[in-house]
A and B are shown apart, each in its own frame.
Chain A
Amino acid sequence: MSRLKIRTKSQAQELVDSMYAGMERRIAASPSGLCPIDITLSFLNLCHAQSCGKCTPCRIGLGQLSALLRQVLDGEADMAALDRIKATARNIADSADCAIGFNAATLVLNGLAGFEDDFREHILHHQCLASHRNSVPCITLCPAGVDVPGYISLIADGRPADAVKLIRKDNPLPTACAYICEHPCESRCRRSMVDDPINIRGLKKFAVEQAGRVPNPPCAESTGKKVAVIGGGPSGLSAAYYLQLMGHQAVIFEKRKQLGGMLRYGIPSYRFPREKLDAEIASILSTGIEAHTGIDIGKDVTIEQLTKDYDAVYIAIGAHTDRKAGLPGEDAGHVTSAVEMLRGIGDWQMPDFTGKKVVVIGGGNVAMDVNRSAVRLGAEKVTCVYRRRQADMTALPEEVEGALAEGVELLTMMAPVRIESDEEGNAVALWVKPQVSGAFDKGGRPSPVNSDLPEIRVPADLIVMAIGQGIESRHFEESGITVKRGNLLAGDDAHIGDEKVFAGGDCVTGPATAIRAIAAGKVAAANIDEFLGFRHEISTDVVLPAPKINSVVPRGRINLTEREASERKKDFDAIEHEMTCLQANLESSRCLHCDYFGFGNFRGGRETKW
């Protein structure tokens, strides 16, 4: 008999462990529209299987809870069952000995509170409120509803130009999205159930690169209507593009020197090369859109004038003002905001940071853009100060990794306290207070609280605040447009109170993604068209190839590679490599084509026109 043994996993345990990983991906890829009670019951049964069986509430109680939920689902429960479920779950939450039991009960208690209507419908009418409507996860999750499986099949078929045409049916900025979209389409890709989500953005990038110049569809016969679009960012450009295709004359008024909005004045060129942006804008304008830059609405022209002169107005001014942190010393010299710094870079006015220590406050994508731009501008040291953990940063993980690789230092769990200035009133250091992770906030992120460690001085030649942007809403508010918490108030049809005025994009949602702004522009175009008394349809003549059965043998996702960090950080050129034809073929052949297989060929998510 040996006194001790090295622990090894049994074969069964190893397999079960891999099953957990698989199930984790599977759960993440759950389709929308499932019955929440059925899902709760399934999780509850999993919890029950996890029970060690020692304690009564967990061993027996979870089983009884499961039986009660099953009765609800089978239409065999009465309203009294709800009280029984609640009492049983509460008992387990109160009296179970460990998390396996009490956490499972919490699941049910949260469900009772969160989807009471579903319980009622099952009990009283023996039917389910849920239904499996949106069967194609990528299309459903794309705010603009881009036909992802459609263009993937075109890429696989060697037709990149048709892929671009198909994308433009719902999104006139395929190149911008190929470079910078946060690709919500990938988050529930069903391929994750097999291995990993399809690299959708990577494939789109391949398509736009391969396609070359793709002509726009012809515009409908002129309606004689004129629509003013305030703001030449992604939302304004999208609305103008579709309005122009519908036969209306779109006229863009842009405050800055150039069009592009945050695509130019927020996103640095190494992420989205300027020549690509310029080409995309030129393509959009070639539909006949009129654009006036350097026009400040409220100063040069009033909204009242526009509503008088135009048949409809779309406000898409974005979110371009900086937010103050309220730090003592914030008004000092050598303190700037991300918006201001990136705006200059957008017009290619590059400051020289050679030899400077730059401190950037914030943990979002904009903060990363500032960090990485500062590196490229020659800074001796770039320090990113963030009051939570790296994992809590809202920036995409690949952005954070990119910044780290380029030499950016992360100073996490540090809350800015004050800015120290020299006698000339210029900042010389940021004082920070070390933090500890505390309780979860409403969004599920732990709130930082002061630790017992003393404040730290971070020397700085320049401090950049990257803590969010606001909306220049004053003129609009004065013109009678409702502003709520700084954002313009518009409905989900982009309509605001005034019947000929519409609004969308960041100025309505607050700072968000390009694709959401594009989607808002699309919605606005459709509803403006309708408001003007038309029903023009946007469609495409692209015919999709027949659905292909692809292999379901697990295989690696093809990720885009980047230029070496030490090289790329020297310039503002694009950092990402494109897929090769071989890679694009392999990656596109991983698509499971949910537009056809599964629920797709019954209730497919494809809208051929809108």
Chain B
Amino acid sequence: MVKLTIDGREALVPEGSTILEAAASLGIRIPTLCYLKDINEISACRICVVEVEGLERLVPSCTEKVAEGMVVSTNSHRAKTARETNLKLILSQHDGDCTTCVRNQNCQLQDLASECNIIDNPYPKDVKKNDWPENSYLIRKESKCIKCMRCVQVCDKIQTLKVWDVKGSGSRTTVGVRLNRLFTEADCALCGQCITHCPTGALSIRDDTAKVTAALEDPEITTVVQVAPAVRTAWAEYLGLTREEATVGRMAAALRALGFDYVFDTNFTADLTIMEEGSEFIERFTHRDQYNWPMFTSCCPGWVRFVKSQFPEYTTNLSTAKSPQAMFGAVAKSYFAEKIGVDPHKMRVISVMPCTAKKSECDIPNLKDACGDPDVDVVITTRELGRLLRAYHVNVPALQDEPFDSPLGSGTGAAVIFGATGGVMDAALRSAYYLVTGTNPPADAFTAVRGMKGWKEANFEVPGAGTVRVAVVSGLGNTRQLMESLKRGDAEYDFVEIMACPGGCSGGGGQPIHEGEELADTRGQILWNLDKNSVIRYSHENPDVIALYREYLEKPLGQKSHHLLHTDLTEWSVPMNPNLQEKA
């Protein structure tokens, strides 16, 4: 332990702690801006500088380690002046038009300026122009970038795609797409982790709320909304509701209040996905030599983009079952449209997703199987749902719980855990076991695949089928490690679940942003609890799914299922990893 003095008070902290951490142990807040624990510890913004007795110059508290007897002032004239001056310098190059910024009231720079009492700025504005390709899902505004480098680090260290890079030198140093590519040429998974770690509005995902409004306002159009499992864990975070108040029923009521004609749940097609993907796995497992191994889940579009751009030779290992979002669109515009007698061309399927990559999934050219139109029309993120609810002035706290509509609104416990890492595998194993043995395994038989570890593996005995070797990975950096192990032959599995975002969809790039907090685990727990408290915990027991097969699809992997619920992932392409291009 190291003893030091901060602002006249004594702190006792473990060796290797930073001054920032030592101050926090005393409840002393030192403002930070670029700092992101373990990811971006580069002391670049110089907001957190403090004065240390005996040192010639100020030091950044985020990286400077404590030393025995150190005497630190966090609010000395020098420290405070430097903090405020550096903040004003940053503000001089920041487009401070906060009122029309997507991150208004959720911006670390804005908070900091307010916290530090910055009410004027002697430095004239020198804001750079925005220059970004049109038709890009992800949008970068140079005018708002403060060069904290978090996006570069998140993409390098967590996701290993290295889409971003520092560009130029001197006063024009900025962040851009690595290798001077256009963003639209980059092998980006669109996971959105750079967006959720951006302290300002420099990075954002395309806003599609206007498309939703247009559909809602068009009397000719039947609007059908689906909500992904992980959305229910975070939808009200921007609305000031506690987690207890933010119930699933209240979310359904809120969507109905927005004016959607049918409020459905992606959980329904998560169950359907399990039926198809589980059956597909059994088909592959029992005809081993006809397939490439392992089989991968394909419900995460970030992962699908990743494998296609980084390890294209594994594309055929992906399950051909569509994602729950895509299955929902296909079923809504066929089975459901027929059922309610609506022309599917006059139906708009709108998804609310915790995900940024889902926006690109809905544009995949061959996902038009129901009626020729795109199966899903518009995807909005959890953040966009929050903005819509505010814009419509929905008094959410006053709403009572309401159920989803029927029949595409039902989901089992196995479906809701799709939003947490390990959930798809857990759900698939529950049903695969049943499909092979005819009896249900205990619903909590597969706990080894749960939890926040980045790379989990387990073996399960399925009587009559043998040992199934599974792995569950979240985060693309972990994914790359797994893929390289597979390539080298160091690892061997039968079935692998992969989610691009660390912790799975609950930590998705479309979820609400909270500075310095990683909420995937907290939100994931909500899903595991929903599963635990569900009456039905097996996808194959979802009565509406059973009815769908009985009335319409006949059977998993049947002809109709094949047409509506499966897709050829080799039919479209994404920009390739530049290193692979070089080799080719």
Q: Interface residues, chain A, CB within 8 Å of chain B?
A: 33-35, 38, 73-75, 121, 125-132, 546, 549, 551-553, 601-603
Which stretch from B83-91, B166-174, B371-379, B519-527 is at the chain A interface?
Answer: B166-174
The answer to the question of B57 belonging to the interface, with a C-beta cut-off of 8 Å to chain A, is yes
Residues of chain B with a CB closer than 8 A to A125's CB: 180
A-B contact list, 21 entries, CB within 8 Å: A34-B169, A34-B170, A35-B168, A38-B169, A38-B171, A74-B172, A125-B180, A128-B168, A128-B169, A129-B180, A130-B169, A131-B165, A549-B55, A549-B57, A549-B59, A549-B64, A551-B56, A602-B42, A602-B44, A602-B166, A603-B166
Cβ contact within 8 Å between B167 and A552: no
Contact bitstring B7-19, A, C-beta under 8 A = 1, else 0: 0000000001000
Kindly state whether residue B541 has any CB partner on chain A within 8 Å. no
B residues 146-187 touching A (CB-CB < 8 Å)? 149, 165-173, 176, 180
- Given A128-B172, A553-B56 in contact, is the A75-B167 Cβ separation under 8 Å? no
Pick the contact of B167: A38, A131, A546, A549 (CB < 8 A).
A131
User: Which 6 pairs of residues, A with B, have the shortest CB-CB distance?
Assistant: A128-B168, A602-B42, A34-B169, A35-B169, A38-B170, A132-B169
| Inter-chain contact A601/B42, CB cutoff 8 Å | yes
Contacts of A553 in B (CB 8 A): 56
> Are B63 and A132 closer than 8 Å at their CB atoms?
no
Q: Are B169 and A601 in contact, with the CB atoms below 8 A?
A: no
Q: B56 contacts A132, CB within 8 Å?
A: no
Q: How far is the CA of A552 from the CA of B57 in the complex (A)?
A: 9
If the complex has contacts A552-B56, A552-B57, are A127 and B167 also in contact, measured as CB distance less than 8 A? yes
Q: Any chain A CB within 8 A of the CB of B111?
A: no
Interface residues of B in 165-222 (CB under 8 A from A): 165-173, 176, 180
A125-B41 Cα distance, complex, nearest whole Å: 31
Q: What 0/1 readout, one digit per residue, does chain B (119-150) give for beta carbons within 8 Å of chain A? A: 00000000001010000000000000000010
A131 close to B65 (CB less than 8 A): no
Q: How far is the CB of B319 from chain A (nearest CB, A)?
A: 32
B425 to chain A, nearest CB (A): 32
With A551-B56, A602-B44 as contacts: A131 and B63 at CB distance below 8 Å: no
Contact B167 A128 (CB under 8 A): yes
Q: How far is the CB of B168 from chain A (nearest CB, A)?
A: 4
- Distance in angstroms from A231 CB to nearest chain B CB is 33
Contact (Cβ within 8 A) A131 B169: yes
Are the C-beta atoms of A35 and B57 separated by less than 8 Å? no
| B43 within 8 A of partner (CB) | yes
How far apart sit A73 and B171, CA to CA, in the bound complex (Å)? 10
How many Cβ-Cβ contacts under 8 Å join chain A to chain B? 56
Chain B residues with CB under 8 Å of chain A are 16, 41-44, 55-57, 59, 63-65, 129, 131, 149, 165-173, 176, 180
- How close is B31's CB to chain A, nearest CB, in angstroms? 20
User: 9 additional contacts, CB 8 Å, given A35-B169, A132-B169, A601-B43?
Assistant: A34-B169, A34-B170, A35-B170, A38-B170, A128-B167, A128-B169, A131-B168, A549-B57, A602-B44
Distance (Å) between the CB of A309 and the closest chain B CB? 31
Least Cβ distance of B542 to chain A in Å? 49
Within the complex, the shortest CB–CB distance from A118 to chain B, in Å, comes to 11
Closest to B171 in A: A38
Q: How far is the CB of A42 from chain B (nearest CB, A)?
A: 8
Q: From the candidates B55, B59, B129, B166, name the one contacting A132 in the complex (CB within 8 A).
A: B166
Q: What chain A residues lie within 8 Å of B180 (beta carbons)? A: 121, 125, 127, 129
Which of A35, A75, A128, A601 is in CB contact (< 8 Å) with B41?
A601
Q: Which residues of B contact A121 (CB under 8 A)?
A: 180
Q: Which residues of A contact B42 (CB under 8 A)?
A: 601-602
Contact of B172 among A38, A551, A603 (CB under 8 A): A38
A16 to B180, CA, bound (A): 40
Of all chain A residues, which has the CB nearest B131?
A126
For residue B62, give the distance in angstroms from its CB to the closest CB of chain A: 10
Residue pair B65, A546 in contact (C-beta under 8 Å): yes
**A553–B56 Cα gap in the complex (Å)?**
9
Q: In this complex, which of A121, A127, A130 has the most chain B Cβ atoms within 10 angstroms of its Cβ? A: A127
Compute how far the CA of A171 lies from the CA of B44 in the bound complex, rounded to whole angstroms.
33
Of listed B42, B43, B59, B172, residue having the most chain A CB within 10 A? B172
Contacts of B176 in A (CB 8 A): 127
- Residues of chain A with a CB closer than 8 A to B166's CB: 131-132, 602-603
Q: How far is the CA of A125 from the CA of B177 in the complex (A)?
A: 12
Pick from B44, B131, B166, B169 the residue with the most CB of A within 10 Å.
B169
Question: Given the complex, which residues of B lie within 8 Å of A33, measured CB to CB?
Answer: 169
Q: How far is the CA of A602 from the CA of B40 in the complex (A)?
A: 8
* Chain A residues within an 8 Å CB radius of B44: 602
CB distance from B46 to the nearest CB of A (A): 12
Contact A130–B59 (Cβ < 8 Å): no
Min CB gap B507→A, angstroms: 25
Find the B residue at minimum CB distance from A552. Answer: B56
- Taking the closest CB of chain B, its distance from the CB of A590, in whole angstroms, is 14
Q: Closest Cβ of chain B: how far from A265's Cβ, in Å?
A: 43
Most buried by A among B41, B56, B64, B170: B170
Considering the chains assembled together, what is the distance between the CA atoms of A602 and B157 in angstroms? 12
Docked complex Cα distance between A553 and B59 (Å): 16
Residues of chain A within 8 A of B167, CB atoms compared: 127-128, 131
Contacts of B57 in A (CB 8 A): 549, 552
Q: Is the CB of B172 within 8 A of A601?
A: no
Q: How far is the CA of A128 from the CA of B171 in the complex (A)?
A: 12
Q: Given the known A-B contacts A75-B131, A601-B41, A602-B44, are A130 and B55 also in contact in the complex, defined by CB atoms under 8 Å?
A: no
Contacts of A130 in B (CB 8 A): 168-169
Most buried by A among B41, B131, B168: B168
Question: For the complex, what is the distance from the CA of A121 to the CA of B180, rounded to whole Å?
Answer: 9
Give the Cβ gap from A140 to chain B, nearest Cβ, in Å: 15
Which B residues lie within 8 Å of A132 (CB)?
166, 169, 173
Question: In the bound complex, what is the Cα–Cα distance between A323 and B169 (angstroms)?
Answer: 45
CB distance from A73 to the nearest CB of B (A): 6
Q: Inside 8 A of A129's CB, which chain B residues have their CB? A: 180
Contacts of A126 in B (CB 8 A): 131
Identity of the chain A residue whose Cβ is nearest the Cβ of B129 in the assembled complex? A75
Distance of A73 Cα from B173 Cα, bound (Å)? 11
B57 and chain A: residue at smallest CB distance: A552
Q: How far is the CB of A3 from chain B (nearest CB, A)?
A: 50
A129–B168 CA distance with the chains assembled, in angstroms: 7
Q: Which residues of A contact B131 (CB under 8 A)?
A: 75, 126
Residues of B within 8 A of A38 (CB): 169-172
Residues of chain A within 8 A (CB-CB) of B173 are: 132
Most chain B CB within a 10 A radius of its CB, from A33, A552, A553, A602: A602
Q: How far is the CB of A560 from chain B (nearest CB, A)?
A: 28
Chain B residue nearest to A127 in the complex (CB): B180
In the complex formed, the residue of B with least CB distance to A121 is: B180
Closest A residue to B153 by beta carbon equals A602
Chain B residues closer than 8 Å to A128, beta-carbon distance: 167-169, 172
Could you tell me the distance in whole angstroms from the C-beta of B372 to the nearest C-beta in chain A?
39
Complexed CA–CA distance, A38 and B174 (Å): 14
CB contacts (< 8 Å) of B170 on chain A: these are 34-35, 38
Q: Can you name the residue of chain A whose Cβ is closest to the Cβ of B128?
A: A74
Determine the distance from Cα of A516 to Cα of B16 in the docked complex, in whole angstroms.
Answer: 39
List the B residue with the shortest CB-CB distance to A546. B65
Could you say which residues of chain B place their CB within 8 Å of the CB of A127? 167-168, 176, 180
Residues of chain B within 8 A of A546, CB atoms compared: 16, 65
In the assembled complex, the Cα of A126 lies from the Cα of B128 at a distance in Å of 12
B142 to chain A, nearest CB (A): 10
User: In whole angstroms, what is the CA distance A202 to B59 when docked?
Assistant: 30
A128, B167: Cα distance in complex, Å: 7
In the bound assembly, the distance between CA atoms of A546 and B2 in angstroms comes to 15
Q: Which residues of A contact B16 (CB under 8 A)?
A: 546
Smallest distance from the beta carbon of A390 to chain B beta carbons, Å?
37
* B56 CB, nearest partner CB in chain A, Å: 6
In the complex formed, the residue of B with least CB distance to A125 is B180
**Least CB separation from A600: chain B residue:** B42
Nearest Cβ on chain A to B50's Cβ, whole angstroms? 13
Given contacts A121-B180, A131-B166, A551-B56, contact A73 B172 (CB under 8 A): yes
How many Å lie between the Cα of A128 and that of B176 in the bound state? 10
